[in-house]
Amino acid sequence: MSHVNTGVKIFKKLLEKGQMDRETEVDLFLEFRSPDVRSVLAELEEEMDFRIVETSQTLYLVPDSGNSLLGFTTKDFREWVAYDARLVDAYLLCYISMFIFYLFYGGKNRNPKQREFLRISKLIEELDRRFLAALDQDDSSGVLEEGYAVNFLRIAELWQSKQGFEERSRKTKTGTVLNTCRLLERENLLHMVDEEREIRTTKKLDDLMLNFYLNDSRVEEINGLFEGGVKADAQY
């Protein structure tokens, strides 16, 4: 098999599942280390806006942030909440996702992973605290130089307006959090256990966080996103 064939074969495997494990694809995994195959894949990475993240046991296909061909769009996120969901719901979904990652990987140690599991009730408490802090600070506005964005205060209000823990509809806090977790579970980033009362990270999330997502070299890309520098290629 030529290097191009091997490279494309690896790419196809990666497209199928988003990852390729050493355990099931021993030969291809070894081929990946050949410089010729790597250079074929590097061209594909360049042309199709993705990168391959390599860990000791698994290869992952990671779409570039703005890649809506291989990745997701706001519309997808919004539709995950509900067919009639608004952008504000997608914003909240994104914030809760990032907050979950922060609670797991926000440690200051060399290993940033600071917890093994997270109870849904604890997550809701922490979100309450965070949103309340934002709303409180808004009341005493002008105290800090850089305050919260108006839109963030709107999602904080949206959060606070949701009912407490009992009901599981998406109009409650529990329902909203569970909906977010289910999306992350569908993407193989979280496991929901103990009758959906607890979440745990998957090996994929650990791998991607520690080997790629949290890497200092991504700061510029993140800056670009928040400063509007990275233009969306196709949002809809």
Partner 1 sequence: MEMGEREFLEGFEKRMQVVAAIDSIVNRLNRNMDVERMFGPGQLDNMIFSVLVFIMERTLAEDEECTMESIAGFIAQIMPYYGLDFPGETIKKVGDYIIKDILQNGGEVRYYPVMNYEKGLTQTRIRLIDDKLKESGRGYVMTYQLTDQGYDLLFRTKEVEEEISFTIEELKLRELIKRKNYRKAIGQSSNLLQMVRQKKNDIKQFIERIRENIYQVDIGEFEKLVGSTYTLLEEEYSMMNEIRDMILLSEERLKEEETTRGNLDDQMKKARLEIAVIRRNINFTINEQKELILERHSLSRIYQTTITDSFSLSLAKNYNFEQEILARLERCNEEVIPELWKLLNPLFRPNLDKRLGPLTLFERQSPLRQEEDRGEGLVIEELGEDLELLKIKRLNEIHRLFVQSILEFAEKQKGSFRFGELFPHLKEKEEVYSLLMQEDLIFQAMLKLYELGIINIQLWKEQQDEVVSNATGELDVEYCLYLIAYEYPDLFGVTKIEITKPDQAIFQEEITFRQEEGWFSRRIAISDFLFEVSFT
Total residue count of the chain as it appears in this document = 236
Nearer to partner 1 (CB atom), residue 40 or residue 134: 134
CB of 169 to partner 1, least distance (A): 15
Amino acid symbol at 46? E
Instruction: Tell me how many residues contact partner 1 (CB under 8 A).
Output: 93
For 219, the token pair is 């700061």
Amino acid symbol at 106? G
Residue bearing tokens 């709303």: 135
By CB under 8 A, the residues from 163 to 182 that bind partner 1 are none
Per rule CB under 8 A, is residue 9 in the interface with partner 1? no
Amino acid symbol at 4? V
Task: Give the list of residues 6+ apart from residue 137 with CB closer than 8 angstroms, or none.
Answer: 143, 144, 147, 148
By CB under 8 A, the residues from 19 to 48 that bind partner 1 are none
Task: Give the list of residues 6+ apart from residue 154 with CB closer than 8 angstroms, or none.
Answer: 88
Nearer to partner 1 (CB atom), residue 172 or residue 202: 202
CB of 206 to partner 1, least distance (A): 7
By CB under 8 A, the residues from 129 to 148 that bind partner 1 are 134, 146-148
Per rule CB under 8 A, is residue 232 in the interface with partner 1? yes
Question: 109-118 long-range CB contacts below 8 Å, 24 or more apart?
Answer: 111/210, 112/209, 112/210, 112/214, 113/201, 113/206, 113/209, 113/210, 116/200, 117/193, 117/198, 117/199, 117/200, 118/198, 118/199, 118/200
Per rule CB under 8 A, is residue 128 in the interface with partner 1? no
Per rule CB under 8 A, is residue 83 in the interface with partner 1? yes
CB of 214 to partner 1, least distance (A): 4
Which of 43, 46, 86, 164 is in the footprint of partner 1 by CB under 8 A? 86
Per rule CB under 8 A, is residue 4 in the interface with partner 1? no
CB of 112 to partner 1, least distance (A): 5
Which of 40, 95, 120, 124 is in the footprint of partner 1 by CB under 8 A? 95
Stretch that binds partner 1, among 2-10, 31-39, 90-98, 159-167 (CB under 8 A): 90-98
Nearer to partner 1 (CB atom), residue 1 or residue 30: 30
Task: Give the list of residues 6+ apart from residue 103 with CB closer than 8 angstroms, or none.
Answer: 114, 115, 118, 123, 126
